[in-house]
Structure 1
Amino acid sequence: MRVPFPRRGARIFAASALAGLCFSAPARAEDAENWRELETKYIFGFTTGSGIGIEGEKEFTVDTIGRFGKRDGRYNATETKYEYEFTPSQFVQFEFGALGSTHDIRNVTDLDDRRQVAFTGGFGEFRYLAVERTSNNPLSVTLAVEPTVRLIDETSGERVHNYEFETTLNADVELLRNRLYAGFNLLYEPEYTHALTNETVRETTLGTSAALSLRLAPNVVVGGEAWYLRHYDDFGLSAFTGDAVMLGPNLFVRFTPKIFMTAAWNAQVWGREVGNPLSLNLAEFQRHRARLKFAVEF
């Protein structure tokens, strides 16, 4: 199955890759055993690693996720998190912030034409490091919960009251010391939406991912990931509506000890909608998604 690469996504990832090459040092010049220990939270793209940072560390992040392509017409939507993060202990991390969105929709079945930029809502996140990596244990596991309130529907751009409670298990394994990492996520994401028309929607997304990232240089990590996602029209997981598989590369670059960037792109390579014989699931998901995150630690 051939999946076209969106021009905008290509430019984002190509620019990010070029930046990584410009700021990296040749891997041969360094001994991986002597490299600084890497925080794994951001090195897997859409898959979140288990790292929670250093005790007392603070961080400000701008994290944009773009979703592109439906069955027909033009569909481009983004959601950006403006996030403050604080790590009060080596096992606990808190995050909170505001959301902004953009929508550019035209001639898409079941969606109104729309072109807008809007304040979307807010979110908070609590992360707990349940299993810590040690010299004798390469596995690290973090549990995370993220409640979100939206005033704008992330798919259609319509005004709504949306409540989401994302719960994830983030795990990673250090396969080669300071060099090669495997990441795994489990996702449970129930949502309740009340539209201005008094219509209510209850839905749930389940997901699992696997990722592999290689540290090419002390400040550059590249890799790839795969996601399997399932959608239900209820909270009890009895009204299955479709699923999808998404694949793509990712890049992590640390420009300075306190400034870094993550870039990722996924394409839907397989999917099905219940009751629709056409390939791919473009009702609950999208053809492509891209991520670009910049962060400053202090």
Structure 2
Amino acid sequence: MRMRKRSGVNYALALCSAACLVASFGKADAEDASSWRDLETKYIFGFTTGSGIGLEGEKEFTIDTVGRFGKRDGHYSATETKYEFEFTPTQFIQIEFGALGSTHSINGVTDLDDRRQFAASGAFAELRYLAIERTSSNPLAVTLAMEPTARSIDETSGARVHNYELETVVNADLELLRNRLYAGFNLLYEPEVTWASTGEVEREAKFGGSAALSLRIASNVVLGGEVWYLRHYDAANLTAFTGDAVLMGPTLYIQFTPKMFMTAAWNAQIWGREIGNPVSLNLSEFQRHRARLKFAWEF
């Protein structure tokens, strides 16, 4: 218990220090912010997704990799990469689709088979609808998103399965300071069903939300931090609660050119619980660390 508390304090202190550093850079450059071009806020919050859907007629190719690291024992490392094409047919709708690739490196983890593999793991699509548009008099924007996914490789174990997931998210953000300071919020519901090779059927769901704050320290650089609270259920209708977790960490967005940019984020689990298990952190349904690296090209 003491160790978990110290860890949380250390992460909080690190984030506060980072925020102070970011603020000092931002203050020095504040007089130039009015001349900066608008940001597409979808990408500036790390794992939290902003409301932006791009300009009408815009197309984009993205490579988006999420890595998950650390279980209770042994060695655990898994990644999933989206190879994604997206386009915006109207000013209120964005459509995305693509293929998934995954890697797993597992050794000595309780309840998981040792595995080292790379595989084509599935496909996905996403529909985003801009429900509330930001205007000069309204700093709030809200987008509704639905993402069905089909996988042949289990995200956690790397085993061969038939998995179907429907992620539903409310993406919202506020422009607190014009062209400079943004707050992002997500509300997530993610039910899924999995058929194992043994014929066993597993239904589960995640539910939770996030809050993020991002500061534009230069015309092409945004730094920030985010916190996530996630709950896991062994039922799609959220009736069999099994545990929850809080993850927190820094975020970075860099726009290399007007048509090419990068998003990076890292989250650590700073608190968690497993129902019926007194251990600290929840490393059964969640990971100790997760990281994200995304590159995108618009055309």
Instruction: Provide Cα deviations, 1:14-64, integer angstroms capped at 9, x if missing partner.
Output: xxxxxxxxxx99963861111101110000000000000000000000000
Q: Counterpart in 2 of 1:81?
A: 82
Q: Counterpart in 2 of 1:274?
A: 275
Residues in 2 aligned to 1:159 and 1:27: alpha-carbon distance in whole angstroms = 53
Q: Counterpart in 1 of 2:175?
A: 174
Residues in 2 aligned to 1:86 and 1:264: alpha-carbon distance in whole angstroms = 24
Residue 173 (structure 1) shift: 0.2
Amino acid aligned to 1:181: Y
How many pairs align?
Answer: 281
Alignment of 1:22-101 (within 5 A): 28=29, 31-101=32-102
Q: Counterpart in 1 of 2:16?
A: none
Residues in 1 aligned to 2:282 and 2:26: alpha-carbon distance in whole angstroms = 41
Taking only the aligned residue pairs, the percentage that are identical comes to 75
Residues in 2 aligned to 1:25 and 1:190: alpha-carbon distance in whole angstroms = 40
Amino acid aligned to 2:75: R
Amino acid aligned to 2:140: L
Judging changes above 3 Å, is the alpha-carbon distance between structure 1 residues 26 and 212 closer, same or farther for their aligned structure 2 residues? closer
Residues in 2 aligned to 1:26 and 1:147: alpha-carbon distance in whole angstroms = 42
Q: Conserved in 1, the CA contact under 8 Å of 2:29 and 2:217? A: no
Q: Counterpart in 2 of 1:128?
A: 129
Instruction: Provide Cα deviations, 1:140-159, integer angstroms capped at 9, x if missing partner.
Output: 00000000000000000000
Amino acid aligned to 2:271: W
Residues in 1 aligned to 2:7 and 2:125: alpha-carbon distance in whole angstroms = 35
Instruction: Provide Cα deviations, 1:198-231, integer angstroms capped at 9, x if missing partner.
Output: 0100001001000000000000000000000000
Amino acid aligned to 1:279: S
Residues in 1 aligned to 2:183 and 2:27: alpha-carbon distance in whole angstroms = 22
Q: Give the structure with the higher percent helix.
A: 2
Amino acid aligned to 1:141: V
Superposed CA RMSD in Å reads 1.8
1:110 corresponds to 2:131: no
List runs of 5+ in structure 2 lacking aligned partners.
9-24
Instruction: Provide Cα deviations, 1:237-264, integer angstroms capped at 9, x if missing partner.
Output: 1100000000000000000000000000
Alignment of 1:129-144 (within 5 A): 129-144=130-145
Q: TM-score if structure 1 supplies the norm length?
A: 0.92
Judging changes above 3 Å, is the alpha-carbon distance between structure 1 residues 30 and 219 closer, same or farther for their aligned structure 2 residues? farther
Q: Counterpart in 1 of 2:295?
A: 294
Residue 236 (structure 1) shift: 1.7
Residues in 1 aligned to 2:169 and 2:30: alpha-carbon distance in whole angstroms = 38
Residues in 2 aligned to 1:26 and 1:86: alpha-carbon distance in whole angstroms = 36
> Per the alignment, in what secondary structure is the counterpart of residue 32 of structure 1?
helix
